[in-house]
């Protein structure tokens, strides 16, 4: 019969010693969290979690807790080289009179965004089929390089079409770089990518899940950006991933309604700069992310256009939530209207206060949200914010039957935003995102017309969450506690 080794048991620390070690562990971890200067609510929540579950709490924190990624040296390196590639154009854009674009453009520049530049054409796509046809034409016309950064790149017919177009470009001698998020595109395996690589294309996975900690980052930081740049002259960004979900043939919960913008002209330089920075990080080539030949070919001189566009990147490597500050400032300065389309609406306190204050001032505040998303938890949490907005005078529409995935914002008659960021904590503070800010009536009017067409297949929300059944309200309130990770 087995008997315990009493000598071994005697060698174990006493319960008192274990208690002291546990307390020291919690105090040390709590000090680390305090130094991050989160909101008091988030800080207290993490400290309580560590106190209740010291080992599990720290493990969870290491995966999803860190909210900053130190890439300042890398950013400065890439910015310096990229700016040097088109220094004169950059200086001209920065020195221009920005008064017609208001204080928003200057705020974005202070938040490290490139200055506004002109575009010859700005085209909106609200249907995936039209978008991918235009994308394939531009990929076929590319002569020097194609850069693609995508959160979701699916293993389906649409993904196969785009991969085939990229491989064809590489075979023509075009420099092709594809950057996909490791968490967002898990099914895009080596076999599917082999033809592109064999043709000479380069493929990288952003922040691989299994090795992210080895690089000093966090698996919680994802690139949620959708960027395509062809020859530094044509660029796409917006909500559309590479997926059959965007096709008109998609049905049921697989059918999504999204918005993407195609830009042609010097304004594409901002998208190019945003891609190059993430490519340098993903490849680990902080000193020389691109060939020694220089970056000039990636920022070609472009004739001026009639549209003003500013590309504003954001991410956890910045000291503040750039996309959040941009929205709050725009909403705070609104005088006539604020029309927002977003799939996931779990705003922070600043965003909610800006929206309710605008509505109370008499601004026409409208939110267009999906009737149902792909996350019941997000749906439940989102509902808890509706009553405050409705009480302030804002109006909310619920879109159906397709899943609404567009991310747009209209402010008055002369500012429009199309981007990749949702109005939730993940997009505002954890993900790498990008937003195209449109200044001027023509492009903004097109965005407004698209918003109004969407309202035709949406229904206004009139019921209050406070009138919902008790269990529904309880579940929604519980979901709201998860807002920092939604």
Considering only residues 62 and 211, tell me which one the structure prediction assigns the higher pLDDT: 211
Q: In the annotation, is 224 catalytic? A: yes
* Least confident range of 24-28, 295-299, 325-329: 24-28
Query: Which of 269, 307, 407, 461 is an active site residue?
Result: 407
Query: Which of 224, 269, 307, 327 is an active site residue?
Result: 224
Alpha-carbon Rg for the chain, nearest whole angstrom, is 24
Query: Which of 269, 307, 386, 405 is an active site residue?
Result: 405
Total number of residues shown for the chain:
486
CB count, 10 Å around CB of 374? 15
Q: In the annotation, is 231 catalytic? A: yes
Query: Which of 156, 374, 387, 412 is an active site residue?
Result: 412
The 10s digit of each residue's pLDDT in 295-308 is 778 888 889 999 99
**pTM score, two decimals?**
0.84
- Categorize the per-residue pLDDT at 287 as very low, low, confident or very high, splitting at 50, 70 and 90: very low
User: Rounded CA gap, 340 and 365, in Å?
Assistant: 8
User: Rounded CA gap, 381 and 374, in Å?
Assistant: 13
User: Rounded CA gap, 167 and 162, in Å?
Assistant: 9
User: Rounded CA gap, 445 and 51, in Å?
Assistant: 53
- Categorize the per-residue pLDDT at 112 as very low, low, confident or very high, splitting at 50, 70 and 90: confident
- Identify whether 401 is preceded by a cis peptide bond (ω within 30 of 0): yes
Mean pLDDT of 420-439: 92
- DSSP 3-state of 350: helix
Q: In the annotation, is 72 catalytic? A: no
pLDDT at 293: 52
pLDDT at 377: 80
CA 19-21-23 angle, to 5 degrees, is 70
The 10s digit of each residue's pLDDT in 194-247 is 999 999 999 999 988 776 544 545 677 889 999 999 999 999 999 999 999 888
Asked if 253 and 403 count as a contact pair (C-beta separation under 8 A), the reply is yes
User: Rounded CA gap, 152 and 206, in Å?
Assistant: 12
Query: Which of 131, 145, 147, 226 is an active site residue?
Result: 226
pLDDT at 297: 84
Q: What is the sign of the dihedral through the CA atoms of 343, 152, 448 and 321?
A: positive
User: Rounded CA gap, 90 and 94, in Å?
Assistant: 6
pLDDT at 472: 66
Q: In the annotation, is 307 catalytic? A: no
User: Rounded CA gap, 385 and 394, in Å?
Assistant: 12
The 10s digit of each residue's pLDDT in 467-479 is 666 666 666 656 6
- Categorize the per-residue pLDDT at 36 as very low, low, confident or very high, splitting at 50, 70 and 90: low
H or E segment and range at residue 125: strand 121-125
Considering only residues 41 and 8, tell me which one the structure prediction assigns the higher pLDDT: 41
Q: What is the 3-state secondary structure (H, E, C) of 223-262?
A: ECCEEEEECCCEEEEECCCECHHHCCCCCHHHCEECCEEE
């Amino acid at each position: 019969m087995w008997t315990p080794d009493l000598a071994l048991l005697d060698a174990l620390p006493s319960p008192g010693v274990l208690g002291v070690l546990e307390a020291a562990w919690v105090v040390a971890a709590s000090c680390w969290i305090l130094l991050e200067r989160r909101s008091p609510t988030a800080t207290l929540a993490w400290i309580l979690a560590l106190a209740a579950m010291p080992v599990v709490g720290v493990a969870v924190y290491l995966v999803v807790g860190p909210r900053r990624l130190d890439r300042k040296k890398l950013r400065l390196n890439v910015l310096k080289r990229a700016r040097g590639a088109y220094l004169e154009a950059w200086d001209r854009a920065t020195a221009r009179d920005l008064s017609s674009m208001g204080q928003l453009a200057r705020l974005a520049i202070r938040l490290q965004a490139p200055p506004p530049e002109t575009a010859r054409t700005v085209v909106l796509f609200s249907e995936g089929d039209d978008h991918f046809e235009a994308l394939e034409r531009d990929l076929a016309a590319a002569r020097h390089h194609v850069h693609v950064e995508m959160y979701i790149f699916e293993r389906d017919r649409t993904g196969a079409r785009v991969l085939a177009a990229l491989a064809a470009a590489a075979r023509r001698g075009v420099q092709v770089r594809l950057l996909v998020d490791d968490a967002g595109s898990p099914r895009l395996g080596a076999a599917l990518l082999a033809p592109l690589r064999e043709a000479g294309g380069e493929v990288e996975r952003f922040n691989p899940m299994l090795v992210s900690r080895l690089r000093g980052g966090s698996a919680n930081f994802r690139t949620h950006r959708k960027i395509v740049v062809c020859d530094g002259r044509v660029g796409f960004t917006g909500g559309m991933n590479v997926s059959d979900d965007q096709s008109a043939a998609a049905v049921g919960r697989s059918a999504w309604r999204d918005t993407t913008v195609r830009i042609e002209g010097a304004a594409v330089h901002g998208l190019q700069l945003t891609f190059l920075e993430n490519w340098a990080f993903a490849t680990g080539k902080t000193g020389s992310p691109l060939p020694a030949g220089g970056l000039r070919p990636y920022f070609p001189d472009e004739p001026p256009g009639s549209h003003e566009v500013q590309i504003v990147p954001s991410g956890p490597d910045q000291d503040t939530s750039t996309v959040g500050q941009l929205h709050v400032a725009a909403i705070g300065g609104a005088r006539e209207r604020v029309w927002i389309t977003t799939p996931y609406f779990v705003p922070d306190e600043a965003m909610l206060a800006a929206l309710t204050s605008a509505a109370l001032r008499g601004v026409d505040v409208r939110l267009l949200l999906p009737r149902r998303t792909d996350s019941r938890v997000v749906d439940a949490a989102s509902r808890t914010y509706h009553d405050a907005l409705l009480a302030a005078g804002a109006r909310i529409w619920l879109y159906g039957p397709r899943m609404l995935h567009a991310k747009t914002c209209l402010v008055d008659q002369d500012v429009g935003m199309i981007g990749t960021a949702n109005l939730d904590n993940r997009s505002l503070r954890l993900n790498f995102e990008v937003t195209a800010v449109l200044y001027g009536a023509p492009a903004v009017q097109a965005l407004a017309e698209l918003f109004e067409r969407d309202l035709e297949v949406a229904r206004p929300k009139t019921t209050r969450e406070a009138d919902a059944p008790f269990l529904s309200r309880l579940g929604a309130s519980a979901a709201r506690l998860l807002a920092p990770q939604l």
